[in-house]
Structures are given as structure tokens and as C-alpha cells.
Amino acid sequence: MRRKLAAGNWKMNGLAGSIAELEALIGGVGSDPGCDVLICPPVTLITRFVERASGSPIAIGGQDCHAEVSGAHTGDVSAEMLKDAGATHVILGHSERRSDHGEDSATVNAKTSAAWRAGLTAIVCIGESEAERDTGQTLAIVGEQLARSLPDGASSSNTVIAYEPLWAIGTGRTPSGEDIAIVHQAIRDMLEKRFGSEGSSIRILYGGSMNPGNAAEIMAIRNVDGGLVGGASLKAADFLQVIAAASS
């Protein structure tokens, strides 16, 4: 039985005052939310969020890391630095990293190894563009990204997969339940083929316009083990509804 994970990706949003949302979230989830809960704030807030969330069931993660431990990489943050700040997870290969920063799956693969080296759980994102979907390439693209982005040695403790169709991110559009089920089953099959029984335990999140209105329906789909939530994670009131949907 895979416990669901409700993961909030705050992207480039949040200032010191946003700790009020974290506090509302902590108050709302109580001591047992019934699923795992993770917030990935911008890197400037990680330490403060870790301190505030200490003793609560909410974990704090990063949104990216560099593949190397340290060195001359201005503006970058290593997996070891995230770990040192108290993060437990890091999102890698998000489509906005792939498009804004030209990250390919080989880069994501190296970053995933770095996350493991530091003792972080990597949330590895994959997903097709609208043009790729329209031309029937979804499973081929997702399969290729999955194969190339994951190093050998993925397990349920070091890796979470997030399937995020690019055209669904921040658009209010989502695939049909049937389409999500088909892609998640294909990802499950690939994980089991490559990683054996660990592949059965690795969680597969759905991401892309998940919100209080659709979360329950999406969470109920087979092989959907939680959500990677952008916009609807910024307000505690919304994210608490997503968490409730993941717990039921």
C-alpha cells in the first residue's frame, strides 16, 4: 500500500510574510493528516519553513539542486546545502527547469544522483507537451524521459515520480481520468520492469492544475499516489482540501 503524498510546489512565490500560510497549514493538518505532506518553497524560505514546521508532520523540500557538492557555480544550490538547511526532498526536472534552463534528462539524471548522495528524496518530473500529445507521442516521450532521468538504484525511499503534462500546468486544464490512468499505468509498468519490487512501491504523483475541485477524483485513479500542486498549494485553505482528498 503506497501512502499518498500531497506536495506543494511554490515555484518563485513567497516572501517572509508567507510563513502565515505555512502556519495555517500546520494548524489545519493537525498531528496526522492521513497522507504525507510536503511544501517546496523558494530556497530563501527553506530554513525558516523547516524551523517553523519542526514537530509538525509537514516536510520541507527544494525545487532544484546542482549536481555537484560545491564549487564555482554562481547562483546554484547543491543537494548537500538543501539537506543542511533541513530539506528532505527536492523537485528535479520540472518542466519549467527543462524549458527555462535547458535542462535535459541527462542533467536531471545527474541531479537525481546528487539528491541521493545527499540523502534527499528526488521528485523527478516528466511530461509531454501538447503537440506531443496531439501526435500520439505521450507514452513514448514519458517513457524516454523516465528512462533517461532516473539513474539505476531508484527506490521508494529515494525517488518519487511526478507526471505533469506540460499543457496542464497552470492552465486549469487536466487530462481525462482515463488518460491519467493510462499514463500512470505505463509509468508503473516501466518502473516495475526496471526496478522490480521497488518499482511497485515508488510513488507516482499527478501534477498540472490539481485543485480542490478535482483533487478527489484524480487521487482516486489507480496508480495516482498523490499530487504535485502549484497554484493551489499557495493558499493553506486550498491545499488543505487537496490534502483531505489525498487522505480519504
Residues marked active site are found at: 94, 164
CA 211 – CA 194 distance, rounded (Å): 32
From 6, 39, 45, 229, residue interacting with ligand PGA (rule: CB under 6 A)? 229
Nearest CB to ligand PGA, comparing residues 13 and 201: 13
169 binds ligand PGA (CB under 6 A): yes
Binders in 18-47 for ligand PGA, by CB under 6 A:
none
DSSP state of 152: T
Binding to ligand PGA by residue 174, rule CB under 6 A? no
Q: How far apart are CA 119 and CA 168, in angstroms?
A: 31
Q: How far is the CB of 162 from ligand PGA (least distance, A)?
A: 7
**Grid cell digits, residue 191:** 518502473
Closest CA to 211 of 47, 6, 5, 1: 6
Instruction: Quickly count: other Cβ atoms within 10 Å of residue 36's Cβ.
Output: 20
Pick from 90, 86, 147: nearest CA to 114: 90
The residue range among 82-90, 130-138, 179-187, 222-230 that interacts with ligand PGA, by the rule CB under 6 A, is: 222-230
The residue range among 146-154, 164-172, 175-183, 190-198 that interacts with ligand PGA, by the rule CB under 6 A, is 164-172
Question: Whole-number minimum distance, CB 84 to ligand PGA, in Å?
Answer: 25
Nearer to ligand PGA, 127 or 199 (CB): 127
Task: Give the separation between CA 223 and CA 233, rounded to whole angstroms.
Answer: 22
Contacting ligand PGA (CB under 6 A), which of 208, 214, 239, 243?
Answer: 208
Residues within window 100-129 making contact with ligand PGA, judged by CB under 6 A: none
| Nearer to ligand PGA (CB atom), residue 165 or residue 199 | 165
- Please name which of 169, 155, 170 lies closest in space to residue 115, comparing C-alpha atoms: 155
Tell me how many residues contact ligand PGA (CB under 6 A): 13
Helices (H), the chain: 19-29, 46-53, 79-84, 95-100, 105-118, 130-134, 138-149, 177-195, 197-201, 215-219, 236-247
Confirm or reject binding of residue 231 to ligand PGA (CB under 6 A).
Answer: yes
Interface positions with ligand PGA (CB under 6 A): 9, 164, 169-170, 207-210, 228-232
